[in-house]
């Protein structure tokens, strides 16, 4: 959840550590991590395994896709209980990309997208803070000290960076002006310090990761490797796009971190593991 819409409630609950009104952390003694970050990679592994051997039967909606949609729904329900709609959106889009890579029919894909849009609007209506996120996206100046605060400060940071930026480490917005300056909002700080050129270089790096990832998926020695590499690559690209688009005011704020850049040990550890898996698939692909 974006910082501007978090409550002050924090502490421990039966399901984990509650911070900012959301239960997204699990604690085991001195160790604390985000289960949702680990679940992303586990979800992709399971979906790749699920589709392996079922690609010829994907035209049978209820026989093959029914259990798949049930799995996505179970993951979604657990994430919405936190609440963590942003992560659920990332998983849902990644699952949709993997279904496409597995050879899913366009009619089925369109049906799932339409149902997903309907569920998204329902989720927005059921939670006032999500409606506030939408209102802030539509008109950040409507309440710049309230619901529009985070996006207003983010756009100010991006605009003040200019073409070349203020210089590395010379951001002004990171000093208690922009919420989550090293978390969800890190792209705005990066552009403020390194300018539009720095932001463009980062986007180009993500596109290069995507290009290499899909090449690896294409050359994978088997169906599982192809879907796994494609799923991991889709996840990284989708999450990067959602974060950058949200903090740039192109879509409502989601609260998802920027891969490899946002502060967070769990996220970085899982992403590096995913990259290691990509490298492993690439290694075997060269031998195939």
| Res 193: pLDDT | 94
Q: What is the mean pLDDT of residues 98-104?
A: 86
Q: Which of 13, 85, 99, 20 is nearest to 54 (CA)?
A: 99
What integer best gives the mean pLDDT of the chain?
A: 83
| Res 10: pLDDT | 44
| Res 286: pLDDT | 61
Is it the case that residue 138 has pLDDT exceeding 50? yes
What are the sequence ranges of the domains in the chain? 3-287
Element (H, E) at 22: strand 22-28
End-to-end CA distance of the chain: 44
pLDDT in tens, 36-45: 888 889 999 9
Is it the case that residue 284 has pLDDT exceeding 80? yes
Q: What is the mean pLDDT of residues 241-258?
A: 90
Helix (H, G, I), strand (E, B) or coil at 33: strand
Q: Which of 122, 257, 235 is nearest to 180 (CA)?
A: 257
Long-range contacts of 202-208 (CB under 8 A, 24+ apart): 202/261, 203/244, 206/236, 206/237, 206/240, 206/259
Indicate the range of 6-10, 85-89, 165-169, 278-282 predicted with least confidence. 6-10
| Res 28: pLDDT | 66
Q: What is the pTM of this model?
A: 0.84
Quote the CA–CA distance of 165 and 218 in Å, as a whole number.
38
Q: What is the mean pLDDT of residues 167-178?
A: 88
Indicate the range of 12-16, 21-25, 67-71, 143-147 predicted with least confidence. 12-16
**Total residue count of the chain as it appears in this document:** 288
pLDDT in tens, 182-234: 888 899 999 999 999 999 999 999 999 999 999 999 999 889 999 999 999 99
What DSSP assignment string belongs to 212-230? HHHHHHHT-SSHHHHHHHH
Q: What is the mean pLDDT of residues 116-130?
A: 80
| Res 25: pLDDT | 61
Residues paired with 28 in a beta bridge: 31
Is it the case that residue 60 has pLDDT exceeding 50? yes
| Res 45: pLDDT | 93
What DSSP assignment string belongs to 117-177? HHHHHHHHHH-HHHHHHHHHHH-GGGSTTTTTHHHHHHHHHHHHHTTT-S-TT--STTTTT
| Res 36: pLDDT | 80
Is it the case that residue 169 has pLDDT exceeding 60? yes
């Amino acid at each position: 959840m974006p910082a501007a819409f978090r409550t002050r409630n924090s502490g421990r609950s039966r399901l984990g550590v509650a911070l900012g009104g959301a239960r997204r952390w699990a604690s085991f003694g001195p160790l604390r991590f985000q289960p949702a970050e680990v679940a992303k990679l586990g979800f992709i592994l399971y979906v790749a395994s699920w589709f392996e051997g079922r690609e010829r039967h994907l035209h049978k909606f209820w026989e093959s896709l029914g259990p798949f949609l049930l799995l996505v729904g179970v993951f979604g329900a657990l994430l919405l209980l936190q609440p963590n709609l942003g992560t659920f959106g990332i998983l849902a889009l990644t699952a949709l990309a993997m279904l496409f890579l597995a050879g899913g029919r366009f009619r089925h894909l369109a049906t799932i997208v339409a149902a997903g849009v309907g569920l998204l609007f329902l989720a927005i209506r059921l939670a006032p803070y999500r409606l506030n996120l939408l209102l802030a996206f539509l008109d950040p100046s409507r309440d710049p000290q309230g619901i529009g605060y985070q996006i207003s400060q983010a756009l100010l940071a991006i605009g003040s960076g200019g073409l070349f930026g203020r210089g590395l480490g010379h951001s002004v917005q990171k000093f208690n002006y922009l919420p989550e300056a090293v978390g969800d909002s890190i792209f705005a700080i990066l552009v403020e310090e390194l300018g539009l050129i720095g932001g463009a270089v980062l986007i180009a790096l993500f596109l290069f990761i995507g290009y290499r990832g899909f090449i690896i998926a294409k050359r994978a020695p088997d169906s599982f490797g192809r879907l796994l590499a494609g799923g991991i690559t889709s996840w990284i690209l989708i999450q990067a796009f959602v974060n950058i688009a949200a903090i740039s005011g192109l879509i409502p704020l989601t609260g998802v971190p920027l891969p490899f850049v946002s502060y967070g040990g769990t996220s970085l550890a899982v992403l590096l593991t995913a990259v290691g898996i990509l490298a492993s698939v690439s290694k075997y692909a060269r031998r195939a």
